[in-house]
């Protein structure tokens, strides 16, 4: 199967190289920006690729929703299989692309969009065919895991941890998509859609790591806890729950063993029990290896990750109650149902009574809108 | 696809139940022993199944090499797809069954034979199509992991840990296949064959946990180490290496987080980097879920785990050098290249200089043949 590549950045180069090594796959033309076609295998006109009958599949590794969506649609209409690492594209337009792919008898796969080299979505899509998925989620963003790990093990403050991550290539110059939790949120959206045929596009809750301080980390450590940014999803009545938030885990929890920029994705099958997958969630070759795995799946005849009737829903995050750790101005502690509190100057460190995920996130939003500086994390698994 | 089930024990019942729930799969007849056909769906004659044109696939969950091999061959000759959880069968006759399956255009899959519900072989077989597998292995036996974990966290001695495991159904009345390491050894044989097209059927090295004592465990703990039984495999020149042995891991290593009867399988892809999978390695529903996953793969057109030219080889375990901890009679310490030693009465606890895996296992065998009681474990990862 001949595979054209759209984009020739970090991941594109990796995909192109791996295609040349692969047995049953061939590297087709590579689409680059105008003026960048400095080799015979590079082209600047998508039409050349779509009109080429020898090209069977297209791997999109450009990023961004447009023009990727336009290119994806055109490729599927031309009957080419479509594989992508672009989570923003699949989160925004995956439902439409799935329908278009099926109309045209072409594949639509996106393992590399969630977890880089970690085969999370692939195994989830296979498991749900014969087993009920009770819950899913995990550490789905390497940038934030690197930072939280560095703040803890190297005693760095937030700014130092971010600089360190950027120096190592684990964080972008503009890290907001990662540190805000948005990257992890998009991934849990995709995972819910694969497991439940419901893509939560509304009502999601998202808390990143932008508020954590070195003092917070020192406090957790003194109590034997490690902070990780976790994405969670599951069935919730007729809908699904989906959120991202920091979680404090007791030493010894598997998530504490996830260091640096590694990811840990997991799901619990009713029959299989808990299945945990760990690996590198980003980077040239890990991400490219996931694209190549999807292409191998197409060769075997596995063409889709979204079922026929996959559709958008509003998430329902009212169902799950948790205990939260909240560090906030002492004057505002009354806004939360407090189980215990430790005063520290003007600041108080609270452990709440059980409250819904919705209530916690909404309360935090409200307090911040009123100018309060606060950090919160769910406690335990 | 209609699936007949051979065997109606622990796993057979789970497979039959899951087939009834599954969407695109149907439960066919179940083969039981003579005299046990107490329901219409149970039959005692394999011919009834093989002659039935509505039966597309056969799932064998009986165990043992015969008559399973005879039934498997007959099913494949009849053009039925063949899925099994029987590691002894695949280790002994997988090469023949692979050839027979391909001759007859039928599938031959065995996810459930290695790691129960953990999708190790499936992911390995997909990864190797486009990536080079540098090494593989892990904690592949739940019985021994349960016992080692119980000896450590519950301070049990070997006999108590075994009784505990038997009480919980994690160990057989005759536990020798598990505690000797043979079960894990068969699994690493299969994994090597899936990754490298070479099934090491000779020259394997196998050390189980039968020699470990509570005193050994207390000693490791005092130094900050946890003992796990690890299977390892990798390329070794023109052949493959494959062995099973206890390993001492520093607190914080991922394997230390594998508790009770869980399994942890991993492989390192040249491009993907390390991929780790954890889950329940045995039990009715975890094992049945792996059988169902294989059946879903057949529906998608993925029919084989062994490549066309998969063949038997003699393992080469001379290549890797490791440091070992050895507890043995003080008089015999001279037989090993000693880095450091601690005397404890008549016994000495040695840390060796680097020696090959072969040398360690062969030396231990020789000393035991001369009547010595000893325990050894590799140190570190």
Task: Render pLDDT for B38-63 as a digit per residue (tens, 0 to 9).
Answer: 999 999 999 999 999 999 999 999 99
Q: Which of B126, B256, B288 sits opposite A293 (nearest CB)?
A: B126
Q: CA geometry: angle at B61 spanning B162 and B25, to 5°? A: 130
d(CA A374, CA A348): 10
Does A272 contact B279 at a Cβ distance shorter than 8 Å? Answer: yes
Partners of B205 in the β-ladder = B243
Does B277 contact A280 at a Cβ distance shorter than 8 Å? Answer: no
pLDDT of residue A144: 98
Q: For the stretch A254-280, what's the b/e string if a residue is b when 16 or more beta carbons lie within 10 angstroms of its beta carbon?
A: bbbbbeebbbbbbbbbebbbbbbbbbb
Can you name the CATH fold of A321-379?
Answer: Alpha-Beta Plaits (3.30.70)
Does B273 contact A296 at a Cβ distance shorter than 8 Å? Answer: no
Q: Is B42 annotated in the active site?
A: no
Dihedral angle of Cα A251, A255, A259, A260, to the nearest 10 degrees:
-130
Residue B83 predicted with pLDDT over 70: yes
Percent of chain B with pLDDT over 70: 100
Q: B264: closest CA among B357, B184, B153, B180?
A: B184
Q: A212: closest CA among A132, A152, A123?
A: A152
Does B279 contact A274 at a Cβ distance shorter than 8 Å? Answer: yes
Q: Which of A131, A276, A302 sits opposite B278 (nearest CB)?
A: A276
d(CA A302, CA A139): 27
**How far is A377 from chain B, CA to nearest CA, in Å?**
23
Give the class (CATH, top level) of A120-280: alpha beta
Q: Using CA coordinates, name the residue in chain B closest to A303.
A: B300
Partners of B226 in the β-ladder = B249
Q: Which of A123, A278, A296 sits opposite B129 (nearest CB)?
A: A296
Strands (E), B53-188: 57-60, 81-84, 108-109, 133-139
pLDDT of residue B358: 94
Does B126 contact A118 at a Cβ distance shorter than 8 Å? Answer: no
Q: Catalytic residues of A, which ones?
A: 187
Architecture of domain A2-109: 3-Layer(aba) Sandwich (3.40)
Mean pLDDT score, B171-196: 96
Residue B332 predicted with pLDDT over 80: yes
**Which residues of chain A fall short of a pLDDT of 70?**
381
Task: Render pLDDT for A134-185 as a digit per residue (tens, 0 to 9).
Answer: 999 999 999 999 999 999 999 999 999 999 999 998 998 999 999 999 999 9
Mean pLDDT score, B360-376: 96
Q: What share of chain B is helix, strand, coil (3-state, %, to 5)?
A: 40, 30, 35
**DSSP secondary structure, A67-131, as one string:** THHHHHHHHHHTT-EEEE--HHHHHHHHHHHHHHHHHTT--EE-GGGSSTTS-HHHHHHHHTTTS
From chain A, the residues in CB contact with B302 under 8 A are 297, 300-302
Residue B381 predicted with pLDDT over 70: no
Question: How does strand A324-329 pair with strand A375-379?
Answer: antiparallel
Q: Which of B269, B276, B301 sits opposite A300 (nearest CB)?
A: B301
Task: Render pLDDT for B239-282 as a digit per residue (tens, 0 to 9).
Answer: 999 999 999 999 888 899 899 999 999 999 999 999 999 999 88
Tell me: cis bond preceding B93? Omega within 30 of 0 counts.
no
Q: How confident is the model at residue B355 (pLDDT cuts 50, 70, 90)?
A: very high
pLDDT of residue A125: 97
pLDDT of residue B319: 86
Residue B3 predicted with pLDDT over 90: yes
Task: Render pLDDT for B280-328 as a digit per residue (tens, 0 to 9).
Answer: 988 999 999 999 999 999 999 999 999 999 999 999 999 889 999 999 9
Q: State the pTM of this model.
A: 0.95
pLDDT of residue A381: 58
pLDDT of residue B292: 98
From chain B, the residues in CB contact with A129 under 8 A are 22-24, 292-293, 296
Average pLDDT, chain B: 96
Q: Using CA coordinates, name the residue in chain B closest to A302.
A: B300
Mean pLDDT score, B338-363: 95
pLDDT of residue A367: 95
Dihedral angle of Cα B335, B336, B340, B341, to the nearest 10 degrees:
-40
Q: Which CA distances in Å does B245 have to A188, A213, B233, B242? A: 39, 44, 12, 10
Question: How does strand B26-31 pair with strand B2-6?
Answer: parallel
Q: Residue ranges of the domains in chain B?
A: 2-109, 120-280, 321-379
Question: How does strand A2-6 pair with strand A57-60?
Answer: parallel
């Amino acid at each position: 199967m001949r595979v054209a590549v759209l984009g020739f950045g970090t991941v594109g180069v990796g995909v192109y190289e791996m295609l040349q090594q692969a047995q049953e796959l061939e590297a087709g033309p590579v689409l680059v920006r105008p003026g960048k076609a400095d080799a015979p295998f590079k082209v600047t006109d998508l039409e050349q690729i779509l009109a080429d009958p020898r090209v069977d599949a297209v791997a999109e590794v450009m990023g961004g929703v447009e023009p990727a969506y336009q290119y994806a649609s055109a490729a599927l209409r031309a009957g080419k299989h479509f594989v992508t690492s672009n989570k923003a594209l699949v989160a925004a337009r995956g439902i439409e692309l799935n329908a278009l792919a099926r109309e045209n008898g072409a594949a639509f796969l996106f393992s590399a969009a969630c977890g880089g080299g970690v085969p999370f979505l692939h195994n989830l899509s296979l498991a749900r065919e014969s087993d009920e998925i009770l819950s899913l989620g995990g550490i789905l963003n390497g940038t934030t895991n690197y930072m939280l790990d560095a703040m803890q093990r190297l005693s760095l403050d937030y700014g130092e941890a971010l600089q360190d991550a950027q120096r190592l290539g684990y964080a972008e110059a503009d890290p907001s998509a990662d540190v805000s939790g948005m990257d992890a949120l998009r991934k849990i959206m995709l995972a819910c859609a694969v497991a439940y045929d419901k893509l939560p596009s509304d009502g999601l809750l998202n808390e990143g790591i932008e508020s954590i301080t070195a003092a917070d980390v020192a406090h957790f450590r003194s109590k034997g806890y490690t902070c990780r940014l976790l994405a969670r999803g599951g069935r919730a009545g007729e809908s699904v729950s989906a959120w991202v938030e920091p979680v404090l885990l007791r030493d010894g929890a598997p998530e504490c063993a996830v260091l640096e920029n590694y990811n840990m994705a997991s799901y619990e099958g009713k029959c299989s029990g808990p299945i945990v997958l760990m690996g590198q969630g980003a980077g040239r070759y890990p991400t490219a290896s996931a694209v190549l795995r999807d292409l191998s799946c197409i060769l075997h005849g596995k063409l889709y990750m979204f079922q026929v009737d996959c559709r958008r829903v509003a998430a329902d995050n009212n169902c799950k109650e948790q205990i939260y750790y909240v560090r906030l101005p002492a004057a505002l502690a009354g806004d939360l149902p407090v189980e215990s509190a430790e005063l520290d100057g003007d600041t108080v460190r609270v452990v709440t009574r059980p409250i819904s995920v919705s209530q916690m996130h909404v309360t935090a939003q409200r307090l911040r809108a009123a100018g309060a500086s606060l950090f919160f994390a769910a406690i335990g698994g």
